[in-house]
Structure 1
Amino acid sequence: MLRRGPRTPERRVEAGERRGGAPYRVLASTALGVVVLAGLGAVMGPQWDPVPLTDPLTVQTSSTAVGDAPPARTYDVETSIVEVQLDGATVQAQVSVPVGLDEPAPGVVFVHGAGTGRFEVAFVEQARALAASGVVAMVPDKRLDTYTTRHRDYVQMAADYRASVDVLRARDDVDADRVGIYAESEGGWIAPVMAAEDPDLGFVVLVSSPVVPPREQAAFAVDSYLRNTGVPHGVFRAIPRAVGMSLPGGGFEYADFDVTPYQRRMTQPVLVVYGTGDASMPTVQGAEQIIRDTAIGGNGDVTVRYYEGANHGIRVGGDVSAQFLADLSGWVRGLPGTAASQPRIAGAQPVQTYVATPVPEPWWLRDGDVVLGTVAAAAGLILLAPLLVGGARGAEAVTARLRRTGDVEPAAPDGPRPAPARFGPGVAVRLAALGAGVLLTVVALVVYLVSIARLALDYERNDWVVQGGWLGVRILGIAVVVAGVLLARRVHRLRVVHVPVARGVLRTAAGWAVVVGSGVLLVVLAYWGVFQLGI
């Protein structure tokens, strides 16, 4: 009979795992780990549960024509460039003038939305249409030296645009008492400030105005875009956690700017315009709030128009709606007679499913710097581990070379040889799987979120990306939990048979670095919804 030699540590560990019913225990432990992470993710931050809009605004007629508008006339248009002196800067502006006016005409200063806003590309069709109908139109360049992603002062921006209003009022071909402003998108937070602080403004046109504070509008837009893209329900949890936290690096104080007090001081006639194809704005809520705010200030001269299928820039098929341009010029030229003309609310019937409301603040991870720092530190720990192991191997190689040259006294020939300084059997590969897996999952989550953001902004749907990508991220997350369970089981078995998990200070530190870093990133992934189970 052949006698078996002593079993190696590897064989003792493998035998112990086979006796322990490994597949069943791994499955049960993985399920438990996912449930724990799902629970952590649920309690660590707010959920997203938008309030349905139950009081829809109803249009009075489908026709957007403005009552009491004077007959349309057509003029040739001349343009010139003027300079506008601001406080600490100078910008250029293009003035479009109708040729052959018999008397000073009404004037309009355009207030830009988000972005760079140069007159060469901004409001080209609107300015020309107004000028061709008999209105002097002025499009200034947007001041950019005080305008960044992190810093925007809407009150100061209002003061800058008022300088353009003063320049337009001073022209001989403009009736100073009939100069108003046209504001689009982000400009809807600036124009009411101008109107409140300059009651002599003749009128205000608000196109695709957000009305609610920027943070609320951002959450509303993200929700609408994601619903249009068809993302899984679980992704929506990220909305309050991303939009509600302070962003890394500071700034963004303007995110909570409230335009309501300024709208309540607007005494001018107001034209409110939205496209029914604009998913980024609360098109019903916005009009209702403007009507309500101006009424509080005693102003009932608000006209609302909705254009079928028009997007954020009131464009249909890439071009600014011709009907909108005709209605706009008629309303401006007809003031003050068109200020209270009927119907007050007209056009295509708008649809707004949910209300734009204050965004819940995250309870724990509300500071973006902390979130980013935590992720960076945890990833750094995992990436440090190979360096520590490499350092350990280098030290071992130096020691071995010194022994060969006789600089270090070798062990006695009949004495015990030092154990090799390495990880226990199977530990290194499991550590590598855990660390690499969690880093890959974090990268996959970021790539997924960026991909669906692009789809949402382009109003596109792609089920392979939206559904398949989310499924892939969640499978990766579960695989990381499996790797953690396998590592924990291997460590436990090594201790049962009295085999060191890691020898040497550097390898021990490397192992802990991977475990701690991976644990932190798993919690972060749970926070962003990777492990949620409908909790």
Structure 2
Amino acid sequence: MLAALIWAATIALLLPAPAARAAGDDLVHEEVTFRGSGGLVLHGTVLSNGATHTPRPGIVLLGGSGPGPRVEYRQEAEAFARAGITTLVYDKRTVQYSTLHRDFGLLTEDALAAVRLLRDRSGVDRHHVGLWGFSEGGWVAPLAASRSSDVAFVVTIGGSGYSPLRTQAWNLTTHLRHRNVTGSFERTVSGPMAQFIDAAGLFPTADYDPVPVLESLHRTPVLALWGQYDNQVPPRESARIFQRALARAGNEHVVTRFVTGGAHNGHRTTDGFDRIGGPLFHGKRLGQLAPDYAETMTSWIRAVAAGHPPASSAAPAPRQAAPSTPVPSRTPFAWLAPALLLLGFAACPVTAVLRRGPVMRPIRWLSGLGLVAVVGAVACPLAVFAIGDGAAAPVVYGRPAGWLVVQVLGVAVVATACMAMTALWRARRTLDRVAWLRPAPAILAAVGFVPWALWWGVLRP
């Protein structure tokens, strides 16, 4: 008897575990692993609504920017699975992916590896496995489809027709306006600061152009969706870009729609800035799926899988929060100018310490104020790019409080520069050559500070 029990236990350990079915759930969840680009092991979950004798279409979900775990897209995964579409959702790579390093090629290879896994599963129609891409995934999914015929169709939600940098500049300025930020700071974020981080290489894939990829999708059916209240990518303009690029490709199966009452992620919202219902993710609500969001996607996929991809059509676009503006061309001046100003303002106190010579009080004030003003002018908009529009709080008189301080410092730099020049002129007969050379870098920096501060927005309302 004991031997029989041991034998039975051994067999139970060797047999594959049955697919898990969550308590109170009608879906089958199976944990899977697969190797993405570079052999990296990725973990995911395959969801289906049970066994079937007829092969079903499949879909792989690609998340937005950041190290989004699969739980963030649980609502979409379950909606697809309940509609009879076998769904794979996986944790995004965190290796070779960070705030300062993005590689759409790596993400594309991961996506295609996931497609291959799903195509090889029993019960899945290997000829009808597609990709769903949200936000950043709206760039990756078409790229993957352009590189492999294994991708049978593409669905995007909140995909941008512009480069990542232009999209992010629009996103940030839209959110700044929502915080009642107006005037020069908003223009600095979308103009000089966008140029600065681009030239300094601080924004990965900044200039990636999605249009050539869209123009290569000749036969792949595409369903492109945007929330009615999308405030993270310019939805009206993006829809127009998708339509025109895919039309130039000769693609006759492109459908663009707008999710009524939907936010950037297609979930319920009142204005795009809040979320209604849904689970919590990192302490914030994701929002429930908007009423017609899931049905629009699942009915379209079923039509594609049935061999009747819908003909191209475009729904009327709702009002967009604001038009987007092109990011100025990359120029080293964007980061070289503040670097030279910092060197100029820092030269006087450094030489004073090294040579222990006297420095006129107005020059000392000019050097100190100039250093703080330039650092603050760069740091304030840079923080918005790094952290988000929350870095602009609190807002005073239509400006972030930090920016208001920087603007006061900018005026003080100009005033102090005038005082320093006046003091030098009055003492000109008593100063030797060294005494003249020591304040020269600060004076030159002050002269250059004025046009730079006007361009950067420090001396503008």
TM-score range, shorter chain: 0.7 to 0.9
Match of 1:263 in 2: 214
Decide whether aligned partners of structure 1 residues 458 and 269 sit closer, same or farther in structure 2, where only a CA change above 3 A counts: farther
Contact 2:66 2:98 in 1 (8 A): no
Q: State the identity as a percent.
A: 25
Structure possessing the higher radius of gyration over alpha carbons: 1
Secondary structure of 2:333's partner?
A: coil
Decide whether aligned partners of structure 1 residues 364 and 460 sit closer, same or farther in structure 2, where only a CA change above 3 A counts: closer
Counterpart of 2:399 (choices 457, 467, 473) is: 467
Secondary structure of 1:480's partner?
A: helix
Match of 1:380 in 2: 346
Residue identity opposite 1:377 in structure 2: L
Contact 2:59 2:129 in 1 (8 A): yes
RCO (CA 8 Å, sep 6+): is it higher in 1 or 2?
1
Query: In the aligned structure 2, how far is the partner of 1:357 from the partner of 1:527?
Result: 17
Match of 1:486 in 2: 419
Counterpart of 1:107 (choices 21, 37, 58) is: 58
Residue identity opposite 1:167 in structure 2: L
Contact 1:210 1:217 in 2 (8 A): yes
Instruction: State the Cα distance separating 1:286 from its structure 2 match.
Output: 1.3
Query: In the aligned structure 1, how far is the partner of 2:56 from the partner of 2:449?
Result: 64
Contact 1:219 1:243 in 2 (8 A): yes
Instruction: State the Cα distance separating 1:358 from its structure 2 match.
Output: 4.0
Contact 2:198 2:330 in 1 (8 A): no
Query: In the aligned structure 2, how far is the partner of 1:227 from the partner of 1:529?
Result: 17
* Deviation readout 1:378-397 (Å, 9 max, x if unpaired): 353254155246x34xxxxx
* Deviation readout 1:446-503 (Å, 9 max, x if unpaired): 45436766996359985416437355433322222111111222222223xx4x24x7
Residue identity opposite 2:368 in structure 1: A
Query: In the aligned structure 2, how far is the partner of 1:458 from the partner of 1:114?
Result: 18
Decide whether aligned partners of structure 1 residues 377 and 195 sit closer, same or farther in structure 2, where only a CA change above 3 A counts: same
Matched, 1:515 2:455: no
Match of 1:361 in 2: 329
Matched, 1:530 2:452: no
Query: In the aligned structure 2, how far is the partner of 1:456 from the partner of 1:251?
Result: 15
Matched, 1:211 2:161: yes
Decide whether aligned partners of structure 1 residues 383 and 107 sit closer, same or farther in structure 2, where only a CA change above 3 A counts: farther
Decide whether aligned partners of structure 1 residues 340 and 362 sit closer, same or farther in structure 2, where only a CA change above 3 A counts: closer
Contact 1:313 1:320 in 2 (8 A): no
Q: Normalising to structure 1: TM-score of the pair?
A: 0.69
Counterpart of 1:274 (choices 196, 201, 226) is: 226
* Deviation readout 1:240-278 (Å, 9 max, x if unpaired): 322235646547572222222221232222111111222
5 Å-filtered alignment, 1:3-22, equals: none
* Deviation readout 1:13-59 (Å, 9 max, x if unpaired): xxxxxxxxxxxxxxxxxxxxxxxxxxxxxxxxxxxxxxxxxxxxxxx
Aligned CA-pair RMSD: 3.3
Contact 2:68 2:91 in 1 (8 A): yes
Counterpart of 1:306 (choices 258, 267, 270) is: 258
Alignment size in residue pairs: 416
Secondary structure of 2:191's partner?
A: helix
Query: In the aligned structure 1, how far is the partner of 2:32 from the partner of 2:98?
Result: 25
Matched, 1:430 2:362: yes
Counterpart of 2:116 (choices 153, 160, 166) is: 166
5 Å-filtered alignment, 1:122-521, equals: 122-238=72-188, 239-245=190-196, 247=198, 250=201, 254-266=205-217, 267-316=219-268, 317=276, 318=285, 319-323=287-291, 324-336=293-305, 339-340=309-310, 344-346=313-315, 350-352=318-320, 355-356=323-324, 358-361=326-329, 365-366=333-334, 368=335, 370-371=336-337, 373-388=339-354, 391-392=356-357, 422=358, 428-446=360-378, 448-449=380-381, 457=389, 463-464=395-396, 466-467=398-399, 469=401, 470-495=403-428, 498=429, 500-501=430-431, 505=434, 510-521=438-449
Query: In the aligned structure 2, how far is the partner of 1:303 from the partner of 1:178?
Result: 18
Query: In the aligned structure 2, how far is the partner of 1:364 from the partner of 1:447?
Result: 18
Contact 2:176 2:392 in 1 (8 A): no
Q: Normalising to structure 2: TM-score of the pair?
A: 0.79
Instruction: State the Cα distance separating 1:281 from its structure 2 match.
Output: 0.9
Instruction: State the Cα distance separating 1:79 from its structure 2 match.
Output: 1.5
Residue identity opposite 2:414 in structure 1: V
Residue identity opposite 2:191 in structure 1: P
Residue identity opposite 1:378 in structure 2: G
Query: In the aligned structure 1, how far is the partner of 2:27 from the partner of 2:345?
Result: 61
Match of 2:15 in 1: none
Between 446-455 and 351-360, the greater mean CA deviation after superposition = 446-455
Secondary structure of 1:167's partner?
A: helix
Decide whether aligned partners of structure 1 residues 219 and 453 sit closer, same or farther in structure 2, where only a CA change above 3 A counts: closer
Query: In the aligned structure 1, how far is the partner of 2:122 from the partner of 2:332?
Result: 60
Decide whether aligned partners of structure 1 residues 364 and 254 sit closer, same or farther in structure 2, where only a CA change above 3 A counts: closer
Match of 1:88 in 2: 38
Instruction: State the Cα distance separating 1:331 from its structure 2 match.
Output: 2.5
Instruction: State the Cα distance separating 1:237 from its structure 2 match.
Output: 4.0
Query: In the aligned structure 1, how far is the partner of 2:395 from the partner of 2:372?
Result: 22
Query: In the aligned structure 1, how far is the partner of 2:399 from the partner of 2:205?
Result: 34
Residue identity opposite 1:116 in structure 2: P
Between 78-87 and 436-445, the greater mean CA deviation after superposition = 436-445
Residue identity opposite 2:213 in structure 1: Y
Residue identity opposite 1:312 in structure 2: H
Query: In the aligned structure 2, how far is the partner of 1:250 from the partner of 1:159?
Result: 24
Query: In the aligned structure 2, how far is the partner of 1:303 from the partner of 1:83?
Result: 33
* Deviation readout 1:224-244 (Å, 9 max, x if unpaired): 334333333333442232223
Secondary structure of 1:331's partner?
A: helix
Residue identity opposite 2:343 in structure 1: A
- Unpaired runs of 5+ residues, structure 1, are 1-73, 393-421
Decide whether aligned partners of structure 1 residues 202 and 142 sit closer, same or farther in structure 2, where only a CA change above 3 A counts: same
Query: In the aligned structure 1, how far is the partner of 2:25 from the partner of 2:57?
Result: 14
Residue identity opposite 1:131 in structure 2: A
Secondary structure of 2:155's partner?
A: strand
Contact 2:231 2:321 in 1 (8 A): no
Query: In the aligned structure 2, how far is the partner of 1:76 from the partner of 1:150?
Result: 41
* Deviation readout 1:156-185 (Å, 9 max, x if unpaired): 432231111011000002111121110011
Residue identity opposite 2:422 in structure 1: R
- Unpaired runs of 5+ residues, structure 2, are 1-23, 269-275, 277-284
Instruction: State the Cα distance separating 1:143 from its structure 2 match.
Output: 2.8
Between 475-484 and 237-246, the greater mean CA deviation after superposition = 237-246
Between 239-248 and 321-330, the greater mean CA deviation after superposition = 239-248
